[in-house]
Each structure stands twice: as structure tokens, then as C-alpha cells.
Structure 1
């Protein structure tokens, strides 16, 4: 009956992941994982209180990388964060991976910084170095490389032009910078798209 668990834990250990029992034990630190058998977390990952690890989340460190997840952050099903010699830092109250998962990969010398209250959804990815500011959003299957989204309020902020920078749509975003209150919507190359105020998409009255 328990042989699959033993062999599974042996594979986890060989790959540097916590055992299923160790994932369950994270609840003592206030970290929630409703399906611990489907979650893979490297032993050196730093998780703050009230982080939620939904099913099929992978947090993987290798080659001296670092992953830090701030308090109250939700990592939704299909989220994969890999620090292979690089650093990934996620602030408090972020939402990553809803509506199709999300992938963050930081290689040697690369840094991915996700601010408090940021939201990344829809199956996109971050590779190389990126800074996604407080309240900023990536909405859709967008491949982001070396992007900078400005700090601001979250998507719940009643004033659209006070929210963090936004990328929405699908395609490739390389070296894109979006300041507070602005958005680029594209279906292809974001470098060729127009930047607009967020109030353009969310007019009042």
C-alpha cells in the first residue's frame, strides 16, 4: 500500500524536493497545500506565512539559485518557478497562475522580482531578468523577457490609471517597459503595439 509513497519520496529526494510529509508539515508554519502529493518544493525555497500552494505547483532551485515567496501569495495550479542559479522573489499577496498556470525561470545571474499584489495569469512566462511592480499584471499567454512593469495599485484599485503597469493579450514581450496606469494590449509582438492609459479600457460612467 505505501510502496508508491516510498518510491515517490525517493525520487523527490534525489531531485532535491521535500517529501510529501514535509510538504504537509509546512502547515505548521501557516503554509497551505490542499493537495500536497501533487506539489514539488525544493528544500531551500523560502515560504512565508499564508502562502497557498495549489495542486501541481513546482518550486525548483538548482545551481545555488534562490526562491522567496511572500506572505499571502496564491500560487495557482500549473505554476512553475525555477531558479537555476538565478533569483526569484515574489512579494506579499501576489496571484500567480490562475487560468492556465504561469512559468518563471531565472538562470545564472538573472533576477525576477514580483511586487506585492501583482497578478500573473493565463499561461504566460517570465524568462531572463524582469521586474513586475506592485499591483502590475500580465494577463494572457505572453512570453516576457527583460520587461519592467511599473508599481501602482492592484487590479482592485477603483482608479485604473493608478494601477500597476499591465500587459494583456498574447505573444512575445521583449524589453518592454510599462509605467503606472498604462497598458499594452497585443496579439503578437508587444514592441509593435500601442501603449494606452488603463482608463481607455475601463472608462468611468
Structure 2
């Protein structure tokens, strides 16, 4: 090990992350890491088999926080997930951080749950407590605080009104609830915007 790598590992440990070798060793448990040297993972992050950690992903657990990422979930470049005294649970087959990264941060007493096959992309964030249902989507640079998106099918579900709840556009969503098959599109405050069936944007020919 050269001096640069020793210094890098020392800095990682100081900040509570695994060394480069320890990070690469996650592959033994079925975690997929195309570039282990660019990924920062805390030992307390629970990762199931098939989780994909693309370059520049950060998984940080501190102050008694809890984190679990389900089987087959893809964490794309620029994704940062932090459990700083709070709880973050991500289900199986989720897609987080494509098209600009994504931030998920749970502080003390906060709970963020992202269920199976949810899709969060475009540079948005989840802070405070949120429940992102099965198949739900956040599409765009949207800051979500205390939001609930209903369970439904994934974005691959052929019937739009059976898909999980969706937020799309940009801005701030506070205390917003979107049931299955519905969507709010906004560019500003989502609480002031109209909620519509998803078939409004995806009509049948």
C-alpha cells in the first residue's frame, strides 16, 4: 500500500467509512461496485445482495442511525444517503439518483421509508420523515419534507392509474400526500398545485 492510499484510508476511518479494501470486499456479499475507490460506505449500512453502488455514492450512518438497502437496488452516481440518528429503509429494486443524483437524510427521530421499485431521480432530496410507496416516483429537483406517496405498480405498469404516486417538476413539497395512480406536477410549491390522475399525462391512444 502506497502513502496516498494509507492517507486515504486514514481519512475514511476518521470519518467513519470503510477502507478501500473493506469497501471492495463488499463484493463477497453480492454487492456490485464498478469502482470501489470512489464509494464511501459506513460499516453499519446494511446492504443486501445485488445492490449496485455506482461511482460517487455515499452511505453514511452516525449517532445511532440505521440504514438498510434492499436486494437489487441501484444507487446511481451522486446519491448520498445519511442516517444521522434517524432511520432510512430502502426496499428491493429501487432506482435512486439517475439523472443528477439524489439526497436522502434522516436526522434524530426521523424515519424515511422508500419501498420496492420506487424511482427517485433528477437531483431531488428527502429530508425529515417521508414514506415513498411501492413503485412511487420523484422526478426532478424536488425537496420533499414529510411527504407520503402511495403504493402502486412501478413506472413499468402499463396502466398509469395503477402506478405508485408521483411528484414531478421542481420545487418544494411539504406535507404533500399523493395516492396511488395520481401525480402532482409543479414548479414551485407542490402543496399549491393540482393533483391529477396519471392517465392525464399518459392517455391511451
Fold conserved between structures, TM > 0.5: yes
Between the aligned partners of 2:141 and 2:158, the Cα distance in structure 1 is 26
Structure 1 partner of 2:35:
35
Note the C-alpha offset of 1:2.
1.4
**Cα offsets for 1:174-203 (capped at 9, x unmatched):** 000000000000000001100000000000
Q: How does 1:1-205 map to 2 (within 5 A)?
A: 2-205=2-205
How high is the TM-score relative to the length of structure 1?
0.99
- Cα-to-partner distance string for 1:69-97 (whole Å, 9 max, x where unaligned): 00000000000000110000000000000
Query: Aligned partners of 1:171, 1:120: CA distance in 2, in Å?
Result: 15
Give the TM-score normalised by the residue count of structure 2. 0.99
How big is the shift at 1:130? Answer: 0.0
Q: Secondary structure at the match of 2:43?
A: coil
> What's the CA shift for 1:23?
1.1
Deviation of the 1:3 alpha carbon: 1.1
Write the distance in 2 (CA, Å) between the matches of 1:2 and 1:136: 46
Deviating 4+ runs (over 3 angstroms): none
What are structure 1's unaligned runs of at least 5 residues? none
Distance 1:134 1:89 in 2: 12
